[in-house]
Amino acid sequence: MIELRHLRYFVAVAEQLHFGRAAQHLHIAQPALSRQIKRLEAELGVVLLERTQRSVALTAAGAAYMKSAKQLLEQMRRASTDAVRVANGETGRLKVTFIHSSTYKLTPTILSVFTKRHPNVTLNLQEMTVIEQLEALRRGEVDVALLRPPVEDRAIAFETVMRESFILAVPDGHVLADRAAVPLTSLRDEPFILFAARQSPLFNSRVIALCEGAGFTPNIVQEAIQIHTVLGLVGAGLGVALVPDAARYLNMPGVAMVPLADASEPVDVLLAWRNDARNPAVPLFRAAATDAARSILHSRRPADLRIDADHPIVDSL
């Protein structure tokens, strides 16, 4: 049976055309090397080397075999290297899904950090709603997800990457547009545009709870799924909206952003993955997300943006 070591032995002799030098290069005894070459020739049923007392030369069969043997050894070397790189997450494929509101700053920053560190990992990117993201994680269709809570599946682990406060979006020219800060009670008589309850349960329920905590039930006149749509309706003068603070990055025409005077519970952006994730690029993406969040924290940013970069909250229900 021909083994890879036989190929290495033969190639060494064929390149050196000297058993002594080849044995020294291979760190084996010369008699043992001679026996292995004879065994290889017997296995093949051909003479690969012509031997005299003074010289060693390749036969025609030996020259052809040397070429193929070197190619095979190189293929095995590349296969081993590729396997190690995949195992270390240095190459391969990572499927990432994200919510729309993370695309203003967080997701692009994470992707920039990750691709600079791991240029040989191919990223498959897809925007989804939170409900779609959780279902895709359960089915193993994606590797990681940037999403909003809640995550209540024991098969899914997550950590908090960023925490944001709400900010008030009003039409330009609105009586509250030039205020330094607005108390929630000032919104009692305003028409509200809310995120749709089914697609954005966290935002929907949190805004209603904030208003009720201020002593009134919001007058909801419109609902929308995407933050662009919410802000577009605000800009059209149809109402006001409470949106995550990162919406400032959009600079939506016709919309003024005003801080809230009331302290509000932050809304989180999570990074989630399956507990049984085997893709070695997942922990590398987590590290990139942490460092990207830290870079956002130290750059020019909204005052109410808080990022758990140094001590991310890690949880696995």
233 and 272 in a single domain? The answer is no
> Which residues face 222 on adjacent strands?
193
Lowest-confidence segment of 41-45, 136-140, 180-184 by average pLDDT: 41-45
159 and 286 in a single domain? The answer is yes
104 and 225 in a single domain? The answer is no
295 and 284 in a single domain? The answer is yes
What's the whole-number mean pLDDT along residues 16-34?
Answer: 92
Q: What is the pTM of this model?
A: 0.67
101 and 148 in a single domain? The answer is yes
178 and 153 in a single domain? The answer is no
68 and 40 in a single domain? The answer is yes
Q: List pLDDT tens digits, range 146-162.
A: 999 889 999 999 999 99
Q: In this structure, how many other beta carbons lie within 10 angstroms of the beta carbon of residue 78?
A: 10
User: For the residues of 253-295, what is the DSSP string, one character each?
Assistant: TTEEEEEBSS----EEEEEEEETT---THHHHHHHHHHHHHHH
Q: How many domains does the chain have?
A: 3
For the domain that residue 217 is a member of, what is the CATH number? 3.40.190.10
- Check: CB of residue 256 under 8 Å from CB of residue 177: yes
198 and 252 in a single domain? The answer is yes
For the domain that residue 11 is a member of, what is the CATH number? 1.10.10.10
Q: Which residues contact 9 (CB under 8 A, 6 or more apart)?
A: 22, 26, 28, 33, 36, 37, 40
Residue where one domain finishes, among candidates 43, 60, 87: 87
129 and 196 in a single domain? The answer is no
Q: Band of the pLDDT at 263, cuts 50, 70, 90?
A: low
Q: Band of the pLDDT at 1, cuts 50, 70, 90?
A: confident
173 and 240 in a single domain? The answer is yes
Tokens of residue 260, six digits: 């809230």
Residue where one domain finishes, among candidates 214, 241, 259: 259
What's the whole-number average pLDDT of the chain?
A: 88
Residue where one domain finishes, among candidates 87, 122, 148: 87
Q: Is the peptide bond before 150 cis (omega within 30 degrees of 0)?
A: yes
109 and 190 in a single domain? The answer is no
Q: List pLDDT tens digits, range 105-164.
A: 899 999 999 999 999 999 999 999 888 999 999 999 999 999 998 899 999 999 999 988
Q: List pLDDT tens digits, range 50-83.
A: 998 888 999 999 999 999 999 988 888 888 777 7
What's the whole-number mean pLDDT along residues 250-275?
Answer: 90
173 and 219 in a single domain? The answer is yes
What's the whole-number mean pLDDT along residues 247-265?
Answer: 88
Tokens of residue 101, six digits: 């509101």
Q: Which amino acid is at 235?
A: G
Q: Residue 192 sits in which domain range?
A: 166-259
Tokens of residue 300, six digits: 């020019």
